[in-house]
Amino acid sequence: MTLNEFDAQYRDRYKLVCGTDEAGRGPLAGDVYAAAVIFPEDVVIEGLNDSKKLTEKKREQLFDEIKEKALTWCIATASVAEIEEINILEAAKLAMKRAVAGLKGVPDIILVDGNMPPEFPVPYEAVVKGDGKSQAIAAASVLAKVARDRYMKQLAAEYPEWKFDKHKGYGTKLHYQMLDMYGESPVHRKSFLKKYYAKKAELTDEQA
């Protein structure tokens, strides 16, 4: 079954099928992003897949095509402060709700990637690994991923010491090296650094 055929299953009952997904739940820094997309029923985006399985160049190409061919789309965020206040899962849900709310018109059903969807005032369904099954969800995953990567490059210009353009905020060896050298930046998620600080304290105790 193709991604578009998956969505077509719902069009017997629902005219406007929306897909939503998030990007950036795992990183140690930066906002979490989400997107929502509704396509006309006859649109097929060739080469679309789970954004994690696509090259950066392919995602960039699809980003423009998705926006051009969608009936409506929206990209939204939840801030680092919101992540710290309500936790990353709830912040990701909040970003998805904002993305859906930003669409032109109200979808008839919302397909949500994963197994822990936010609650919506219209019918919605969780689709596990939906970004590899549904065209609308896959498109949302690409929009969210590309938008977030661009945002991390902007942060790299503001905070060059941490090289956010290289690791996009994820807990890579390079990122931890930068944290060791410079400490945390204003855009780091403090709650995500607890293990890092605990490990540093252990090493300090061992060396003492």
Q: What is the pLDDT of residue 123?
A: 98
- Same domain for 124 and 174: no
* Cβ atoms of 22 and 148 closer than 8 Å: no
Q: Give me the DSSP letters along 115-131.
A: S-PPP-SS-EEEETTGG
pLDDT of residue 204: 63
Query: Same domain, yes or no, for 146 and 165?
Result: no
The predicted structure's pLDDT at residue 183: 94
Rounded distance between C-alpha atoms, residue 189 and residue 194, angstroms: 10
Residue 137 lies in a domain: yes
pLDDT at 199: 80
> Are residues 65 and 147 both part of a single domain?
yes
Same domain for 54 and 106, yes or no, is: yes
Does 147 share its domain with 175? no
Answer yes or no: are the C-beta atoms of 112 and 100 closer than 8 Å.
Answer: no
Name residues whose C-beta falls within 8 Å of residue 32's C-beta, 6 or more positions apart in sequence: 22, 23, 24, 25, 77, 78, 83, 88, 91, 92, 95, 148
* 58 to 31, 66, 115, 154: CA distances (angstroms): 23, 12, 27, 21
Using 50 as the pLDDT threshold, list the residues of the chain that sit under it: none
Domain match, 36 and 16 both: yes
- Does residue 70 share a domain with residue 25? yes
Give the pLDDT of residue 207.
Answer: 61
* 44-60 per-position pLDDT tens digit: 999 998 888 999 999 99
Model pTM?
0.94
Tally of domains within the chain: 2
Q: What is the pLDDT of residue 206?
A: 59
Mark which of 116, 135, 154 sits at the end of a domain.
Answer: 154
39 domain residue, yes or no: yes
Range of the domain at 168: 160-200
